[in-house]
Amino acid sequence: MEPEFIYFNEITDGRGGLVALEQNRNIPFEIKRVYYIYGTPENVRRGFHAHKALQQVAVCVKGACSFLLDNGRETVDCRLDSPTYGLYIGNNIWREMYDFTEDCVLMVLASELYDEADYIRDYEKFTLIVQQ
Ligand code: T46
């Protein structure tokens, strides 16, 4: 299993950098929701769930954090440490986020509005679903 990174086009000049994220262009779905996670204390792990249908792209717009991704057969760990690329996470992928730097701002673009019913928060249930 490999992490699916999306590398964004950077527009840089003497004033700094700019990255544009556009639905169905460099983001492979219609963007219905954006949220961000920040102020995560050291040694905290978040996530511990998969989604039934949701697709997301996670971008560390400041600082860094790590993801563990698990498709039920394999796992992979990867680090997000730049606003110039994102991590695509499709449905039925268990994720955990960890090793947040103090200044980390993790922005996530999502294909659907928030819906708790789309979460699979039980790992046993997740493994049964992906083995079907
Ligand atoms: C994911 C990872 C990367 C809302 O009310 N609206 C929202 O859009 C979201 C994302 C969360 N919430 C509520 C639900 C919980 O009461 O905020 C609380 C914290 O959410 P959660 O514990 O699910 O946060 P994480 O960091 O474990 O997971 C989040 C996303 O929920 C999830 O979809 O893939 O970030």
Ordered per-residue pLDDT tens for the chain, 132 residues: 999 999 999 999 999 999 999 999 999 999 999 999 999 998 999 999 999 999 999 999 999 999 999 999 999 999 999 999 999 999 999 999 999 999 999 999 999 999 999 999 999 999 999 998
Catalytic residue among 19, 38, 48, 49: 49
Query: What does the block give as tokens for 23?
Result: 């639905």
State the Cα–Cα distance between residues 63 and 82, nearest whole angstrom: 7
Query: What does the block give as tokens for 27?
Result: 């983001």
Residue of 31, 32, 35 with the most ligand 1 atoms within 8 Å of its CB, for mutation: 35
Does ligand 1 come within 6 angstroms of the Cβ of 95? yes
Residue of 108, 113, 116 with the most ligand 1 atoms within 8 Å of its CB, for mutation: 108
Annotated catalytic residue 51: no
Name the residue with tokens 């994720």.
95
- CATH number of the domain residue 95 falls in: 2.60.120.10
Q: How many domains does the chain have?
A: 1
Cα distance between the two ends of the chain: 19
Count of alpha carbons within 13 angstroms of residue 35, beta-carbon side:
8
Q: Domain range holding 108?
A: 4-130
**Which pLDDT score, from 0 to 100, does residue 132 have?**
83
Contact status, residue 37 vs residue 91, Cβ threshold 8 Å: no
- CA–centroid distance, residue 13 to ligand 1 (Å): 35
Query: What does the block give as tokens for 1?
Result: 């299993």
- What pTM does this model have? 0.98
Give residues with Cβ within 8 angstroms of 41, minimum separation 6. 100
